[in-house]
Amino acid sequence: MNATPHTPRDLVGIGIGPFNLSLAALADPLTGLDTVFYEQRPDFRWHPGLLIDGARVQVPFLADLVTLVDPASPWSFLSHLRARERLFPFYFAERFHIERAEYDAYCRWVAENLPALRFHHQVDAVRWNPERGLFEVDYTQLDADGEAEALGRTHTRNVVLGVGTEPHVPDPFRPLAEDPAVPVVHAADYLGHRDTLLAAGHVTVIGTGQSGAEIFLDLLRRRPAGRERLHWIGRTGALAPMEYSKLGLEHFTPDYTRYFHGLAEPVRDRLVAAQWQLHKGIDADTTAAIHDELYRRTLDGGWPDTTVTPGVHVRTAGRIGATRVELHLEHEQQKTRSRLTTDAVVLATGQRERPLGRLLAGLDPYMRRDGRERPRIDDRHRLVLDPCVTGNVYVQNAETHTHGVGTPDLGLAAWRSATILNDLTGQEPYPLPGRTAFTTFGLESGRPQVPSAHHHRELTPLADGI
């Protein structure tokens, strides 16, 4: 359904990553629902710098954009395979976890075929128009070179933010990362700089999570035995395995998300910090592959020219000469310090939620905030706004502080999208299960219930649980 210039949309999506792509795919068959999704990039790309050969998505293929709430959807991963005549090869491959590049190809197939997506559209501001009772979304349409081509404005009853995350560059590295002459790159851009890194005499990988492990392994495999000249360091006290036990994975269920949301704000904050191994460790296959590769290089005697040291943080970093980098290191447990000179640095230092302040500046007077000035987000993934705002602003992957470690997990994408659409329509186009985990996470009597689609926003200031 297409709106005329004067007809308000039902929903405007800002950003087209996997989560808003999931929402667009599940919204597509809902007749009468008028949606549009804007993205400033020219097309869909999912972490292109990390599509390393053999690297796999850490959730099963069933955690695609739609399957866990609508297995019969035409936008499922299996539908993608059927459209590409690849179902039988996939069947015989017997793969439960697909390669990251294959997940990217699947998402691009969906993005190329959904009619509600608008790439080359940069959203500049979101405001509430009290006279019309609508949100105003201002955007700039970009040309093929990314230059401004036209300005536009869309009115909508509801907004969903899916602007995703951005690479985190620690403070000591900011000046170096911004200098093109110095080979200091974030892991998000790894593949685009791999040839330069392979040509460097000595390379240091910083960050002992999954991305750091994959990049260290890729560099190790491509450098000659005995002349690897690789350092791999990180703050964590060990090369910790990711929690991947079956009951441990129940922290990524709707049941746990509802439980977490109901906790007091200080408890939630402590839990997010303590649960890092649920999503920031290294999967067992990758650690095994690294050990196998290192072991293979000892067969002729001697040890590979690599140093792998957890429990180390970089105090300061500076430039030496034209291109070399000096790192001042401190060991967390020993409290000892040393210096390391290297020719190139890869920052596998993770992603952070993209700040929403500039985009939502026009809504700031209406927003309710928690004790740390973060937006309050209710159990239906809506910003808690002043009661005079009758529309909803939904958020995707910006609510870790209220919904826990499952927020960025692909396995909850379809469930969250369905929750949003059920709330938006006031119906239940996607019935959701009442129970998703064997674990009962709290002592409350009875099982947690799926929120009713007819529940409306609380109109009074809410307590810490929201």
Which sequence spans correspond to the domains of the chain?
A: 11-164+354-425, 168-242+280-350
Instruction: Give pLDDT tens digits for 192-245.
Output: 999 999 999 999 999 999 999 999 999 999 999 989 999 999 999 889 899 889
Instruction: Give pLDDT tens digits for 420-436.
Output: 999 999 999 999 999 99
Q: Taking residues 289-302, report their average pLDDT.
A: 95
Given the structure tokens 């015989």, which residue do they identify? 92
Map residue 226 onto helix, strand or coil: coil
Task: Answer yes or no: is pLDDT of 457 > 70.
Answer: no
How far apart CA 345 and CA 327 sit, in angstroms, is: 10
Say what the pLDDT of residue 356 is.
Answer: 87
Residue among 4, 5, 21 at smallest CA distance from 13: 21
Given the structure tokens 């460790």, which residue do they identify? 281
How far apart CA 192 and CA 236 sit, in angstroms, is: 27
Two domains, one topology: 11-164+354-425 and 168-242+280-350: yes
| pLDDT class of 5 with cuts at 50, 70, 90 | low
Task: Answer yes or no: is pLDDT of 14 > 80.
Answer: yes
Say what the pLDDT of residue 466 is.
Answer: 28
**Phi and psi for 204 in degrees, rounded to 5?**
-115, 125
Say what the pLDDT of residue 10 is.
Answer: 98
In this structure, are residues 207 and 187 in contact, taking their beta carbons and an 8 Å threshold? yes
Residue % of the chain over a pLDDT of 90: 86
Say what the pLDDT of residue 321 is.
Answer: 85
Task: Answer yes or no: is pLDDT of 357 > 90.
Answer: no
How far apart CA 360 and CA 125 sit, in angstroms, is: 7
How far apart CA 452 and CA 466 sit, in angstroms, is: 17
What are 323's two structure tokens? Answer: 């291109």
CATH class, domain 11-164+354-425, is alpha beta
**Phi and psi for 458 in degrees, rounded to 5?**
-60, 135
Q: Which CATH number is correct for 168-242+280-350, 3.50.50.60, 3.30.420.40, 3.40.50.2300, 3.30.70.260?
A: 3.50.50.60
Instruction: Give pLDDT tens digits for 52-89.
Output: 999 999 999 999 999 999 999 999 999 999 999 999 99
Average pLDDT, the chain: 92
Pairing of strands 35-39, 11-14: parallel
| pLDDT class of 141 with cuts at 50, 70, 90 | very high
pTM here?
0.92
* 185: enclosing H helix or E strand: strand 184-186
Give the relative orientation of helices 18-27 and 413-425 as an angle to the nearest 10 degrees: 50
